[in-house]
Structure 1
């Protein structure tokens, strides 16, 4: 029989499961189910309950293609609109004071992913650092990152930036309720990878998120994703066309269509855009002039982003994963040329000159990864370092089997050492050809720095802050080292390059 543990929250009692070393609560609602009249609305308060609410099992993942919520071989989490929940992992050992809180935001391009993935429970981080781990779901794709507000009617309001609003609502729940689990609401670190890393930066640029967190860690963010209002409106119209709805009956269609029909229509619209306009991602937080007032990189450049300490970095071989499994990013010579020609001027000659060997495919893969992740991250590092402590890294280590497979230190590989699962079956499979010692050392470095940062706002002392004068960057490898302004020629070549507008 599984031991349970009850906690009283502001909305009611939740019952979690108590293991040998940690206790877990799963799928606690932080907002009302966004269904029916609440579809495409900002998150609303939870209806309090009486009695005890079971929180020992996961509920729904956000609406997405079913394979996006795959938890393991032949294990798919059910998806649905009733998905606004979070999960908590707490060490069982007694604590003399409230524990630091680390809130993880999953990635998946704002289209797939789930907080129920076993990796994201963060049990190893919680135990190693004596911290409380929180992970959240938020609305994805059609239901979270398409701006249908133009089609609001007096009877039905459609709000902007629903996924981003969900994340703020989850952090408001943490602020209000985490003390009941032994957490310190005045010491909250948000961290995420890929789209989750972008979400960290978006939250730092969102005025209503002020005071809800105290530091941020952004792992491989596509930092300048974010359509303008004009682009967002144009894309929403294309989504309605895919749904087979006209502008005159848009509100009714959006409220009554089956969730999977809406999801499929938007997926097709996104696929069309990303294949016809390489380098553009149309479904992301919208620069609506209100909830998200200005482009994210601009907010960091002018100091209007929240002035909390930030760790930000990318992986050396970001593009390799996409080149193998996803052809929507610009990781071929032709797609990379298309991006640079849309920028205009001397961008194509300048950038290609900084990547000797182009148009070789492997060089284009590196270039596409740098364009999507490293280039805009450098802009955030530069801007934020003028106003708040900023720490930059590049992740270079990959076990030999990963190198032999042609991936190197590719996108998302850093999640394995960050969450300390290098000795699990997945970690052992990655090191079948050697590299377990290095992988474990890299994991210790990631975790020790992430946990020190969560406690104090500073990583370990051997990691200097980033400044525009020195550009000190921690190269996480085996062994690790600090480099000043790594890949300077490439950094300079990318200046002035931005994703294209929707046409």
Structure 2
């Protein structure tokens, strides 16, 4: 009897039985978690490293034998440490050999819809292995969840003339985006073996992942690889261009040369000799910040131009942002003015004839709050509404939201509806937040909101329309400018922040016409003097 009990105990403590899938890429063995099969750390491409660094990802040949797929792959090399904040605090294993993906699939999936998740982190940090992105609860709704790694920081987004000489087109940069495209191509070739339908892929991401979704929507190389898009807290910022200085940024090739000089490695050959971790950290300290670059090929034009011309992917879209985005990103906002009078004086000097419209939206009587709200809207609010408008204009359904939900730990810390605070709700991962993240209480009301959001998100992935059990219908943006407000419960509303979009669009239009200043986070007290009215603005 004792021997039998020991055997039963050992069986209970052992991992779930391996699940084998023989995909075109090769056979993998994963595990089970309830009714979900889980495969972790599957390589989707070979990363060029060392002497081959800063080249497009290389397709893998089919591997022989069964590959173990029970552990997450390492994060792509990225700067470590930095000031403590709510987003960091977990040490990630890192490697240049990092181009892997993870799959959560219902055990009985057959031609199931697929969501491909692109992590955030300013294109500088992050990983698909973060506990926030555990796909279990989404997969339990019947979809397949795929989360991917891609090269970040200087290793993923550097451009340099030496790199342009290595290919016939003379292009360089956007390597992290090419990784994302390679992952989507892997999904097209292999997801059917895991029970998925390659014709039913939705791309999704938050922050830099949402930005990446917009990049993918405007990249010809990603066309046809997805049928829907989700962009949470994305930003349609001005982009550097490869060969010319524009919008306050140098030609991105020149930026790469300046970085090499700062690192005492002026050629790409010398930069390739540098240790990847030391290189990444040194580049960040030298001021290198990653961007997608307009190269005429992977990203043919500024995102605003592509969306204006209707050249983006013609797919349904779900997009939105959080009421308190900048509460946890104070470094993006200017310092608060010393007084209401100083605030009005500065805004008038910077915005000229547009100052009255600015002060109506962000009045001096509440200038501290207005300072962070203006930054929020110039980045996230305007972008979310712009993509909703532009998809509607090309005949596609678009669904807009505002996440305005607070809970005790966040509100007490002054972080009501902060940047990324919707993620534990859309993933159902209250227990997966980083150490300093305000703890989400696992109460019935919080779980109810999370389940509703998971319903909306997975329904959109499944049908292109967000529907949730026992919750209000989410109307498409349409001519009525509808959106869904997520407070304690979801409520359909119209006309989000009246006047915000029109004002921010006017500012962007003038900066775009003048070509000297970008439309990034330089809003409010950080705004350069506004250009005079231009034709069409």
For this structure pair, what is the TM-score category when the shorter chain's length is used for normalisation?
Answer: 0.7 to 0.9
1:143 corresponds to 2:150? no
> Which secondary structure state, in structure 2, belongs to the residue aligned with residue 430 of structure 1?
coil
1:87 corresponds to 2:102? yes
Aligned equivalents of 2:461 and 2:292: distance in 1?
A: 26
The answer to whether the 8 Å contact 2:484/2:492 transfers is yes
Structure 1 pair 244/447, CA: closer, same or farther in 2 (3 Å)?
A: same
Unpaired runs of at least 5, structure 1 = 272-281
Offset at 1:313? 0.5
Counterpart position of 1:471: 481
The answer to whether the 8 Å contact 1:16/1:24 transfers is yes
1:312 corresponds to 2:319? yes
Counterpart position of 1:369: 376
Of residues 332-341 and 15-24 in structure 1, the stretch that sits farther from structure 2 once superposed is 332-341
Offset at 1:489? 2.7
Counterpart position of 1:392: 400
Structure 1 pair 302/153, CA: closer, same or farther in 2 (3 Å)?
A: closer
The one-character-per-residue Cα deviations of 1:461-488 (angstroms, maximum 9, x if unpaired) are 7111112x32111111223222211211
Of residues 197-206 and 291-300 in structure 1, the stretch that sits farther from structure 2 once superposed is 291-300
Match of 1:112 among 117, 120, 125: 125
The answer to whether the 8 Å contact 1:442/1:478 transfers is yes
Aligned equivalents of 2:164 and 2:388: distance in 1?
A: 38
The answer to whether the 8 Å contact 1:205/1:306 transfers is yes
The one-character-per-residue Cα deviations of 1:443-467 (angstroms, maximum 9, x if unpaired) are 1221111111111111127111112
Aligned equivalents of 1:291 and 1:31: distance in 2?
A: 18
Aligned pair count? 480
Offset at 1:414? 0.4
Residues 26-425 of structure 1 mapped to structure 2, 5 A cutoff = 26-67=40-81, 75-92=90-107, 94-95=108-109, 97-127=110-140, 129-149=141-161, 151-153=163-165, 159-229=172-242, 230=244, 231=250, 232-246=252-266, 250-270=267-287, 282-323=289-330, 327=331, 329-333=332-336, 345-348=352-355, 350-357=357-364, 360-387=367-394, 388-422=396-430
Offset at 1:149? 4.5
Of residues 471-480 and 486-495 in structure 1, the stretch that sits farther from structure 2 once superposed is 486-495
Structure 1 pair 338/439, CA: closer, same or farther in 2 (3 Å)?
A: farther
The answer to whether the 8 Å contact 1:322/1:331 transfers is no
Aligned equivalents of 1:288 and 1:481: distance in 2?
A: 42
Structure 1 pair 4/132, CA: closer, same or farther in 2 (3 Å)?
A: same
Offset at 1:28? 0.8
Offset at 1:360? 3.5
The answer to whether the 8 Å contact 1:86/1:137 transfers is yes
Aligned equivalents of 1:449 and 1:384: distance in 2?
A: 19
CA RMSD of aligned residues (A): 3.2
Aligned equivalents of 1:89 and 1:47: distance in 2?
A: 23
TM-score (norm 1): 0.87
The answer to whether the 8 Å contact 1:330/1:339 transfers is no
Aligned equivalents of 1:292 and 1:338: distance in 2?
A: 40
Counterpart position of 1:496: 506
The answer to whether the 8 Å contact 1:358/1:364 transfers is no
The answer to whether the 8 Å contact 2:163/2:172 transfers is no
> Which secondary structure state, in structure 1, belongs to the residue aligned with residue 184 of structure 2?
helix
Structure 1 pair 154/205, CA: closer, same or farther in 2 (3 Å)?
A: closer
The answer to whether the 8 Å contact 1:315/1:394 transfers is yes
Offset at 1:243? 1.2
Aligned equivalents of 2:481 and 2:265: distance in 1?
A: 51
Counterpart position of 1:278: none
> Which secondary structure state, in structure 1, belongs to the residue aligned with residue 499 of structure 2?
helix
Aligned equivalents of 2:389 and 2:75: distance in 1?
A: 36
Of residues 11-20 and 383-392 in structure 1, the stretch that sits farther from structure 2 once superposed is 11-20
Offset at 1:88? 0.6
Counterpart position of 1:430: 439
Aligned equivalents of 2:337 and 2:136: distance in 1?
A: 44
Counterpart position of 1:277: none
> Which secondary structure state, in structure 1, belongs to the residue aligned with residue 211 of structure 2?
helix
Unpaired runs of at least 5, structure 2 = 1-13, 245-249, 512-516, 521-527, 529-537
TM-score (norm 2): 0.82
Structure 1 pair 304/349, CA: closer, same or farther in 2 (3 Å)?
A: same
Aligned equivalents of 1:15 and 1:106: distance in 2?
A: 24
Offset at 1:362? 3.1
> Which secondary structure state, in structure 1, belongs to the residue aligned with residue 94 of structure 2?
coil
> Which secondary structure state, in structure 2, belongs to the residue aligned with residue 488 of structure 1?
coil
The answer to whether the 8 Å contact 1:205/1:292 transfers is yes
The answer to whether the 8 Å contact 1:297/1:380 transfers is no
Offset at 1:242? 2.3
Counterpart position of 1:484: 494
The answer to whether the 8 Å contact 1:318/1:369 transfers is yes
Offset at 1:334? 6.5
The answer to whether the 8 Å contact 2:344/2:364 transfers is no
